[in-house]
Structure 1
Amino acid sequence: MSEKLNIAYIQANLQWENAEANRKLFEERIGEVSNQVDLIILPEMFTTGFSMNAENLAEETEAETLEWMRSQAKRKDAAITGSVIITENSNYYNRLFFVFPDGTYKLYDKRHTFTLAKEDQTYTGGKERLIVDFKGWKICPLICYDLRFPVWARNTVDYDLLIYVANWPEKRINAWDALLKARAIENMCYCVGLNRTGTDGDGYVYNGHSGVYDVLGNEMNQTNREDEYVLELSLDKTDMLDTRKNLKFLQDRDRFSLDL
């Protein structure tokens, strides 16, 4: 088990519906990441932007982007995660891959499809939450709109790190800032939110505000940055567990189950 987890996230302006250009962009940015990093985080739909054009953009699971993620994980000897548009059994999914350094992977299909953008009319929602065991850390990766639903993220399994990859628009960025902080506090965990920048093909503007929060909701980086940049940060599991032990808030959590 590693007491430290070194993460890097890449806040970037995605090229609209251009997978090749986006993979090239992220490959260059990943090249900037130090060799000490354990986990690299990419945005939601990082190859296309938040597009409903799934019929023309979707890949099979075992296709080019997953192979690219495997090659990048091997290149940096680090795990890598982010979501892409996937087709499977005549359905489309906003699917997150968590790729380990050895090329094996876990997947999570976005549970809460964004009805305001009619995502629910294009993509099939997932049914199962993913908890990844990596270097002695329990990690719960979720996607964008999932952030608005605290029950889905509720820390019933003592995970250590909650991750949201997103295309969250500028017009609702105050909610993004507030809810990331709230998820860290209520779940007594580290919470990372990675958003994109720029303007997409539908005219929506994104202004970043990617952030990292500790177990008490304290900001660990400058969360209001709107430019493209790569952040590296070290998370300390001992500090988090000591705070949980001292405050014991998770011991008082409600017990419940979800009807899916």
Structure 2
Amino acid sequence: MSEKLKVSLIQTTLIWENPEANLNAFDQKLKALYGKTDLVILPEMFTTGFSMKPKDLAHSYSIYDWFKDHAMAGDFAIYGSVMFVKDNGGYCNRGVFMKPDGDFTLYDKRHTFTLAGEHEVFDAGQKPVIATYKDWKFNLQICYDLRFPVFARNVQDYDVLLYVANWPVPRVNAWDALLKARAIENMAYCIGVNRVGTDGTGMDYSGHSQVYDVLGHELLDHPWETEDVKTVELDKENIHYNRNKLRFLEDRDGFTLA
């Protein structure tokens, strides 16, 4: 059992609709972390930016090999999302959680962002997904999922909520508030990794990637708005101690997702 876990957050600009250039850039960022961390988290659609044009840009199964090669070489797990073309020819915004042994867990974004027309281009996922690594349980989420607390409700006894995002400047206050709320209400670590820079539509992003503990305390300086990589250490004792002392989860309401 691993009681402590080093997690590295890559907050960076993304090159608009250019998978090759973005993969090359992340090659260097990931290589710099080899042997230094347990889990690396990348932004949403980290190979393209938040584009609604998946034709000729969406990845197929070969992208799993890219994740696997870095996870094995770096001896860490990786989580990030990409445009993905499905076997039926449809597209999804797919989160990939790859472990260093080559085992992986997939999560298709449940809440497609209607304001940008994502629901017209990408198929929505159907259910929450939990990934397990080093005896830690991770609830995999993507961007707009953050606005829907029922979908994140901790009924699976998970340890960490992971959000990867392209969350823009005009609504970054909601990003800050909701990440903190998800940590507090689920008594779990909550990690959000956002991008910085400007995308091809002119939308600006200011980052504010953050890690919250089970009581909503920030583990990184705030606000973090520059391109950088930061590493924090999570401790299971923070979860065990507070859940035993403050048994709020025992009073949660029951529900069934439609």
User: The residue matched to 1:55 in structure 2 has which SS?
Assistant: coil
Matches within 5 A, 1:83-122: 83-88=81-86, 89-122=88-121
Identity %: 54
How far does the alpha carbon of each residue in 1:57-89 deviate from its partner, in whole angstroms, 9 at most, with x for none? 1122x12x2211111101101111100001111
CA distance in 1, matches of 2:22, 2:11: 12
How far does the alpha carbon of each residue in 1:126-150 deviate from its partner, in whole angstroms, 9 at most, with x for none? 0021111111111111000000000
Post-superposition offset of 1:31: 2.2
Matches within 5 A, 1:181-260: 181-259=180-258
In the alignment, structure 1 residue 31 sits paired with structure 2 residue 31: yes
User: The residue matched to 2:129 in structure 1 has which SS?
Assistant: coil
| Ranges of 4+ aligned residues in structure 1 off by more than 6 Å | none
CA distance in 1, matches of 2:179, 2:125: 21
How far does the alpha carbon of each residue in 1:25-71 deviate from its partner, in whole angstroms, 9 at most, with x for none? 111111222624111100100000000001121122x12x2211111
Q: Which of 68, 74, 95 does residue 76 from structure 1 map onto?
A: 74
CA distance in 2, matches of 1:243, 1:34: 33
Where does the alignment leave 5 or more consecutive residues of structure 2 unmatched? Answer: none
Larger CA deviation: 117-126 vs 223-232: 223-232
Letter matched to residue 238 of structure 2: D
Matches within 5 A, 1:49-198: 49-60=49-60, 62-63=61-62, 65-88=63-86, 89-198=88-197
Q: Is the 8 A contact 2:34 2:75 kept in 1?
A: no
Post-superposition offset of 1:244: 0.5
Partner of 1:15: 15
Q: Is the 8 A contact 2:34 2:73 kept in 1?
A: no
CA distance in 1, matches of 2:49, 2:214: 30
Letter matched to residue 115 of structure 1: T
Count of matched residue positions in the alignment of Structure 1 and Structure 2:
257
Letter matched to residue 254 of structure 2: R
CA distance in 2, matches of 1:96, 1:223: 26
TM-score under structure 1 normalisation?
0.97
Q: Is the 8 A contact 1:212 1:223 kept in 2?
A: no
CA distance in 2, matches of 1:239, 1:174: 26
Q: Is the 8 A contact 2:163 2:192 kept in 1?
A: yes
Letter matched to residue 25 of structure 2: L
Post-superposition offset of 1:234: 0.5
CA distance in 2, matches of 1:128, 1:174: 27
Letter matched to residue 178 of structure 2: L
Q: Is the 8 A contact 2:31 2:70 kept in 1?
A: no
CA distance in 1, matches of 2:222, 2:81: 22
Q: Is the 8 A contact 1:190 1:215 kept in 2?
A: yes
Letter matched to residue 147 of structure 1: L
TM-score under structure 2 normalisation?
0.98
How far does the alpha carbon of each residue in 1:200-222 deviate from its partner, in whole angstroms, 9 at most, with x for none? 00110000000000000000101
User: The residue matched to 2:92 in structure 1 has which SS?
Assistant: strand
Letter matched to residue 108 of structure 1: Y
Letter matched to residue 37 of structure 2: V
